[in-house]
């Protein structure tokens, strides 16, 4: 994923300084962050963007910038990342996305995610499976997972969500996609 991933309408690439205002919005806006337990300040978002680029450099994968107009700031987050070791299905790789609301419902997450899956499953020596998960009730994300061919494999309580402060965000649904299933669909 160190080189950009291009689809018909999207491009997934490393974060750049021009993305900082939109990245902050993607991490702070109440509507976008409805299914996340925290909101980030501008300084916290800037620091996270730098961490994501360092992960890309060190690990070859990360949550990256999703752009739709060449040279314009990112309109979302898209990418693959190593699962946090505390997750019940770690180790592994997860795919995830988040878009600005004005870009919801246009098929952009599905298109960009499919391009990312194509890239990672194209290498025969790489991954055999990718997972994705979301809060139970995040119907938009679950719909993208199903359109991509992911199968619901587990429900779990997210170990990093405090049930005392965010009881509605604890329960998650996990979906998985095997390389063989992806290639069979193609």
- The 10s digit of each residue's pLDDT in 28-41 is 999 999 999 999 99
CA nearest to 65, candidates 118, 24, 8: 24
- Is residue 158 within 8 Å of 181, Cβ to Cβ? no
Q: With left for phi above 0 and alpha for psi between -120 and 50, is residue 132 left, alpha or beta?
A: beta
Average pLDDT score over residue span 116-125:
88
Task: Tell me how far apart the alpha carbons of residues 144 and 4 are, in angstroms, rounded to a whole number.
Answer: 21
Per-residue pLDDT band at 70 (split at 50, 70, 90)? confident
User: What local confidence, expressed as pLDDT, does residue 7 receive?
Assistant: 95
Instruction: Tell which wins on pLDDT, 123 or 97.
Output: 97
CA nearest to 104, candidates 131, 70, 68: 68
Give me the phi and psi of 69, to 5 degrees please. Answer: -125, 120
For residue 141, give Cα distances in angstroms to 15, 50, 92, 106. 22, 25, 19, 13
The whole-model pTM stands at 0.94
């Amino acid at each position: 994923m160190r080189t950009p991933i291009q689809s018909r309408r999207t491009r997934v690439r490393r974060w750049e300084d021009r993305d900082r205002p939109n990245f902050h919005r993607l991490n702070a806006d109440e509507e976008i962050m409805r299914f996340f337990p925290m909101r980030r300040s501008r300084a916290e978002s800037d620091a996270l963007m730098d961490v994501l680029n360092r992960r890309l450099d060190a690990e070859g994968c990360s949550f990256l910038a999703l752009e739709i107009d060449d040279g314009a700031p990112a309109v979302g987050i898209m990418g693959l990342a190593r699962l946090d070791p505390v997750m019940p299905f770690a180790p592994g790789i997860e795919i995830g996305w988040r878009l600005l609301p004005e870009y919801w419902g246009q098929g952009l997450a599905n298109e960009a995610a499919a391009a990312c899956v194509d890239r990672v499953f194209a290498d025969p020596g790489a991954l055999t499976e990718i997972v994705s998960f979301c809060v139970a009730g995040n119907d938009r994300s679950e719909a993208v997972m199903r359109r991509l061919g992911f199968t619901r494999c587990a429900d779990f309580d997210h170990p990093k969500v405090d049930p005392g402060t965010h009881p509605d965000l604890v329960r998650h649904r996990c979906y998985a996609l095997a390389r063989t299933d992806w290639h069979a669909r193609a």
